[in-house]
Amino acid sequence: MPAAQLSLKSEAKPDSRPDSRTAEILARVRVAFAEKGFDGASMQDLARTAGISVGNFYRYFPSKSAIVEALIALDLAEMEADFHTVLQSPTPMDSLRALMQQRLIDHRTRADGQLWAEITAAALRKPDICQAACAMETQIATYLNRVFAAETGLSEAEITARFPAHAAFAITMFKTATMLPPSADPIREDLTALIQRAIDATMSEILAARKA
């Protein structure tokens, strides 16, 4: 199946991307989380960093769960654009590998790893955060399966049925690479390279199923 025939918009969904003002507030919220931690930053801290009153901040985000949902919507919008570009490539899997390498650099530059590590931990305790985080992983798995389908010529249904663990493994390993703690800095480059090779090996198993 040619890549051009695969669309990220195949399931019609309402546009949940934050507007520009909300995105600006979220960018500042990330700074507060980076300084105080996800659990350590109070709603008052977040409002102060965002430069708005606490009451107004609550109108944007009534809870930390709502903030997580908005952060996820923002990141998923970026990922959708990324995967659209990948699917237009003549070699989607190579483009996917390059994208993953670039995103690892981006996460390190933005210091997002610690934030998402804390959100992942919070998801184990809070069902509403867990629901949002799991929905994000499900959507990313859908994007990955479309790339695998584009590269192999198999249908998305076939990919999903035959390789359900492969997308989950790639997501798990990528998350691990983005959330490496500061203590891993001396071996970060080597460890990240090992993780990338493990993802490559997983993708190679899918490529072996390519239609003649």
Structure tokens of 211? 């239609």
Is the pLDDT at 118 greater than 80? The verdict is: yes
Q: Could you tell me the residue ranges of all domains in the chain?
A: 17-62, 71-212
Listed residue (28, 84, 87) closest to 57, CA to CA:
28
- For 11-36, the pLDDT digits (tens) are 434 455 668 889 999 999 988 888 88
Whether residue 167 contacts residue 106, with contact meaning beta carbons closer than 8 Å, is answered with no
**Homologous superfamily assigned to 17-62:** Homeodomain-like (1.10.10.60)
Q: CB–CB of 187/92 below 8 Å?
A: no
* SS3 (DSSP) at 34: helix
Stronger pLDDT, 102 or 58, i.e. the higher one: 58
CA dist 190 and 178 (Å) reads 14
pTM of the model: 0.81
Here the tokens at position 189 are 């480059």
Condensed to tens digits (0 to 9), the pLDDT of residues 164-202 reads 999 999 999 998 888 888 888 899 889 989 999 999 999
C-alpha span between 154 and 160 (Å, rounded): 10
- What is the CB neighbour count within 10 angstroms for residue 130? 16
H or E element that contains 69: helix 64-88
